[in-house]
Amino acid sequence: MNDYPSPAVPAVELEAVARSFGSRTVLEGVTLQVARGELFGLLGPSGSGKTTLIKLITGIDAADSGTVRLLGERMPKLSMFQRFGYLAQSDALYGELTAKENLQFFASLFGLSGTRRDERIRAAMGVVDLLEHLNKPVNAYSGGMKRRLSLAIALLHEPELLLLDEPTVGIDPVLRQSIWRELLAMRDRGTTLILTTHVMDEADKCDRIGLIREGRLTAVGSPSALKAQTGTDTIEDAFIALGGGARA
């Protein structure tokens, strides 16, 4: 018996999830299923609860009520840590170390070693176009390079599920396109991807989008279904019609 769930088990299942900080309700009544192999985008104004929701899915944070399941397992659960890749909104890197040393450190956490580790480091750094900067200390990296290195770390162990919080912020348009080609190729190989974005043309590339407003999931559907539902031609107009509004 392997420990992979059957494809019938959703990648992520949220049931009536709620989370508050003090007296402030940040998420309420969030129910959602993301299928395995799906590319799912979370959209919503700044402060609407996207990052909080991603953290609940990773198990970094726990819901106050409701259930969060990841690959069939009730979260939070520490042993699930190797099963997904997570790109946090802010980069968590060791500045004094080189990129390669950072990658080696995370590889050991993910249980990668030997030739496979070296191959994966080169492959992940190739995706983000940083191979020639492998031996540079991270302190000498630009903000965009740090973001790309963080993405390489999230991809390092070829996880079956990737959670990416604003993956292309600070990345130039050319590289953004090549990263998106890779994200779509991963999806086509069966990886589940859940990401947050404020970029409408990125939202358009998702299989389905969930719109969050003030902690509630207000609409879920494919980009074309959301456009049809609102009688709009662009996902940006659909987003506004569905109450997405401007950034707070």
Ligand X SMILES: Nc1ncnc2c1ncn2[C@@H]1O[C@H](COP(=O)(O)OP(=O)(O)OP(=O)(O)O)[C@@H](O)[C@H]1O
* Residues of this chain that bind ligand X (CB under 6 A): 21, 26, 44, 46-52, 89
Please name the amino acid found at residue 131: L
CB closer to ligand X out of 7 and 47 = 47
CB closer to ligand X out of 26 and 211 = 26
Closest approach of Cβ 75 to ligand X, in Å?
17
Closest approach of Cβ 49 to ligand X, in Å?
4
One DSSP character per residue, 171-222 reads --HHHHHHHHHHHHHHHHTT-EEEEE-S-HHHHTTSSEEEEEETTEEEEEE-
CB closer to ligand X out of 30 and 121 = 30
Rounded CA gap, 44 and 50, in Å?
7
Q: What angle do CA 111, 99, 128 make, to 5 degrees?
A: 90
Rounded CA gap, 203 and 210, in Å?
10
Pull the structure tokens for residue 93: 């890197």
Rounded CA gap, 179 and 148, in Å?
9
- How far apart, in Å, do the first and last CA atoms of the chain sit? 49
CB closer to ligand X out of 51 and 98 = 51
CB closer to ligand X out of 211 and 226 = 211
Closest approach of Cβ 26 to ligand X, in Å?
4
* Cβ–Cβ < 8 Å for 76, 59: yes
Closest approach of Cβ 164 to ligand X, in Å?
12
CB closer to ligand X out of 27 and 155 = 27
Pull the structure tokens for residue 8: 């019938």
Phi-psi region of 131 (alpha: psi -120 to 50; beta: other; left: phi over 0): alpha
With tokens 């939070």, the residue in question is 76
Closest approach of Cβ 146 to ligand X, in Å?
17
Closest approach of Cβ 33 to ligand X, in Å?
20
